Structure 1
């Protein structure tokens, strides 16, 4: 069947999905903040506001040991002033924010109403009905500050996310943030907006997640500014071939995420999941260049030409493929075209579907009791049928684990051919559709029953097939998966 060819098409998904709340970073330096109450919770909010540079006025008849200790030692920034007694209404006029720890609903309502009337953003601790904003969990690498909010739905989850981010952001990031602040004005003066300025900050970011900057770092960066300011030629573009993995964004490598965050243009395949694309830089243009069996597809020649064209325009191009670009991803043709055009390129490997399937099923593809080798093959030729050039006798070897990519439409013929070459009809076989994604479906049977597998008939998504004695125990995992999805 001759397929129609389509041109790469720009997709315009929303840059931002719906937000439960808007994250806003508010400067409080030198501004007045009101805290009503002397409890431990009020002390924490007062310390937080003062750390942001606010002049905090605390109104309380009684103070807790935590508040007393805070007032004695002071905060990291800003000021703290205690006023004995209840808060007066006039204290709210002109304040930047107002916080209260109210004992009763009536007290909370009175404070909330007074703040709203004064036009002051208000938060009554642990009383969402009287809050115009919420405090989230904070990761402090000031001037880099990360805020996490669950909109009050799951504070424990917010804390867990904070702990995860804490492990990813080294403490030295604060020093790099300070260094960026120190040189920002010079960068703006010496480098024009656009390519040169962005090239500098990209070089800067390459170092910001490493060791703390040394005393010589400022001089080195200053030299880079001078070098970029005298560059007359436009920045050369490049292409990065990135493996997007089987679909689950958590299976991306850190290097893949960095490439997506640095891209100007992303050329992505049909099989790349939305959650992977969500990690790309918001400003990056996204072009769908998918190739799918049995569907209208982009010609490989058009994709190759587009990569070269964009790179010659000085763009950072990411060619985003599902799985690993070097395994049935036609990366060889694209690399040859880039080499011929003199375009620099880099390859970021991804988790290939066979590895993800083995992990999901808890199966070792090369278990020494079952397989001496593992083979990855494609399930169809350019003409659409079984590839005739494969070593079919070798593929039927009982000591080989066989993984078939893109074999959904030829599974029956494949099983027949393997058995004709001597493969045992009772050899365990598995098939997984939509691997690692929502709606993942698994099937387990034998080589003989593979031809009638429901999974091959009831899905339009990609199917990965595997054959070999290593999959004998996979039946347990498949049944457990079916049980879990049925319960859900």
Structure 2
């Protein structure tokens, strides 16, 4: 482990005595915090020195612990029997005296905003008690700590508190009935999936959890399940939170060839990872073999994550996998991802639909099982000048796609946008017109994952392509910071 600026610990103050000196707003916040942790707070400050916040706090009943006001200054004898001491003191000399007196009594001390007199620090707190998250920047950047707290609060739904309380209630039964290792982990990870919801657990949640414990106790294979997860276009930050949780709870990950290493880095370290990629013009796993692997591992009690690039429900062959898993009565869930078409729109800074240019958007496969153009496409319908059409996996067929669309009435000057390796470091983009689509794709490289957009929503990019810019968009973005 690397060096730690300070050691994060969680201090049980329930029923213990805390000494508090000071009557200002800072003291009020710390006194409220100590009481919330169950401490009995003895507050030493003359009544005339009580600020408005402290007076309001003393007039209210704390949700936990207690706060007792002593109408006098602190003195060296107040630290006996205390578990913790906190002072909100302006004077440097008095702050030093307070810290020295506390340390002499063997009591850890914190003087607000005076690091030299602190044995510990208060960080930013995310309260989902009994789940409590503390954040510290070692005093260097409190505002950054608060920003981190806000980010974490968005990740932890308020309902998590109720689920954590239920976990405490179930813990004894889980420990008694399930052997350490895979069985307990299978239970807690399924339980954790439920906990990250917006609703608190109802009476049925406890019954379902106890039923799952019983199922696991009878048969370890009861924990087997499959989650189909969309990995998005490639950039790890475009994963959903639910996708990350699935990766971190997986026993086995069957991943596509286009899934980036950055995404796999987010997975549980102990998970078995198997490449089952499918790429044009490359040797790859048969779909039947992938289905068999999912069934095999799930029936062995494993949580299998089938990780697909883009969205699992858009040209991901999820239908065949769902059919097989349901035939085998294996529980399966779907975690959607950002499909490549959305990433294409973001890369070019356009909307795929537009009141004046495109009233609909279509996703079309660019090749068939046999490797050529799909034979059953309605090319007349696709040659619609008031729609945006996105061709997936159409790199090798780009020239033929253009020929068919033009032959069916779409103007040769219709704007097109082409991208390879969307959202990755080596992303490449180009734009132009339909009559030049084959040449544009050839320039980018047909062996790369290619996405083609056809429609008037790309017209500004097509016009700009006629006069190459002096600075490419990606380079300009780097220079703007």
Contact 2:191 2:209 in 1 (8 A): no
| 2:299 alignment counterpart | 312
CA distance in 2, matches of 1:259, 1:72: 47
Q: Cα 1:30–1:283, aligned 2, differ >3 Å: closer, same or farther?
A: farther
- Tell me the equivalent position of 1:25: 10
- Give the one of 475, 483, 487 matched to 2:480: 487
Local SS of the residue matching 1:472: helix
Structure 2 counterpart SS, 1:311: helix
Alignment of 1:230-245 (within 5 A): 231-232=218-219, 234-235=221-222, 237-245=224-232
2:432 corresponds to? 445
Question: CA offset at residue 354 of structure 1?
Answer: 0.8
Return the alpha-carbon distance in structure 1 between the equivalents of residues 414 and 149 of structure 2: 48
Return the alpha-carbon distance in structure 2 between the equivalents of residues 304 and 223 of structure 1: 31
Q: Helix, strand or coil for the counterpart of 1:138?
A: strand
Higher RCO (C-alpha 8 Å, min separation 6): 1
Shift of 1:76: 2.8
> Shift in Å at residue 48 of structure 1?
0.5
* Residues 49-80 of structure 1: CA deviation (Å, up to 9, x unaligned): 22112243445564434334434545332344
Report matched runs for 1:293-332 at 5 Å: 303-332=290-319
Cα pair distance change 1:232/1:311, threshold 3 Å: closer
How big is the shift at 1:347?
A: 3.4
Match of 2:254 among 267, 290, 312: 267
Give 1:364 deviation, angstroms: 4.4
Residues 428, 444 of structure 2: 8 Å contact kept: no
**Cα separation, 1, equivalents of 2:36 and 2:263:** 36
Give yes or no for contact 2:398–2:441 (8 Å, CA) kept in 1: no
Where does residue 50 of structure 1 map in the other structure?
Answer: 35
- Partner in structure 2 of residue 37 of structure 1: 22
CA drift at 1:235? 1.4
- Stretches of structure 2 lacking an aligned partner (at least 5 in a row): none
Corresponding residue for residue 404 of structure 1 = 391
Other-structure match for 1:12:
none
Q: How does 1:18-167 map to 2 (within 5 A)?
A: 23-60=8-45, 62-73=49-60, 75-81=62-68, 84-86=72-74, 88=76, 96-103=83-90, 122-127=109-114, 133-149=120-136, 155-156=142-143, 158-159=145-146, 162=149
1:265-312 per-residue CA deviation (whole Å, 9 max, x = no partner) reads: 222334335665566556644444445567786665654443232112
Flag the 1:366–1:86 CA change in 2: closer, same or farther, 3 A. Answer: closer
TM-score normalised to structure 1 length: 0.73
CA contact (8 A) 1:441 1:455 kept: no
Q: Deviation per CA, 1:320-360, whole angstroms, max 9, x where unpaired?
A: 11211232324355446546766443433333111343356
Asked whether the 8 Å contact 2:183–2:220 carries over to 1, the reply is no
Which deviations, in whole Å up to 9, do the C-alpha atoms of 1:83-127 show, x marking residues without a partner? 633553x86688654433343566666766777788765544334
Aligned residues: 470
CA distance in 2 between counterparts of 1:180 and 1:487 reads 49
1:460, 1:124 → 2: CA distance?
64
**Pairwise CA RMSD:** 4.8
Q: Counterparts of 1:172 and 1:352 in 2: how far apart (Å)?
A: 30
Moved more, 451-460 or 24-33: 451-460
8 Å Cα contact 1:428/1:444 also seen in 2: yes
Q: TM-score, normalised by structure 2?
A: 0.74
* Residue ranges of structure 1 left out of the alignment (5+ in a row): 1-15
Does the CA contact (< 8 Å) of 1:375 and 1:401 recur in 2?
Answer: yes
**In 2, are the aligned partners of 1:245 and 1:351 still within 8 Å (CA)?**
yes
User: Where does residue 426 of structure 1 map in the other structure?
Assistant: 413
2:419 and 2:286 map into 1 onto residues whose CA distance is 28
Output the CA distance in 1 between the equivalents of 2:168 and 2:479: 54
Q: Is the 8 A contact 1:35 1:100 kept in 2?
A: yes
Residues 82 and 20 of structure 1: CA distance in aligned 2, closer, same or farther (over 3 Å): same
CA gap of 1:417–1:48, structure 2 versus 1, over 3 A, is same
Question: Which segment is superposed worse, 48-57 or 268-277?
Answer: 268-277
Bigger Cα displacement from structure 2, 189-198 vs 232-241: 189-198
Q: CA deviation at 1:41?
A: 0.3
Q: Look up the match of 1:5.
A: none
Distance 1:166 1:309, change over 3 A: same
How many angstroms apart in 2 are the aligned matches of 1:131 and 1:295?
A: 63
Alpha-carbon contact 2:396-2:446 (below 8 Å) kept: no
Question: 3-state SS of the aligned residue for 2:296?
Answer: helix
| Contact residue 36 and residue 60 of structure 1 kept, 8 A | yes
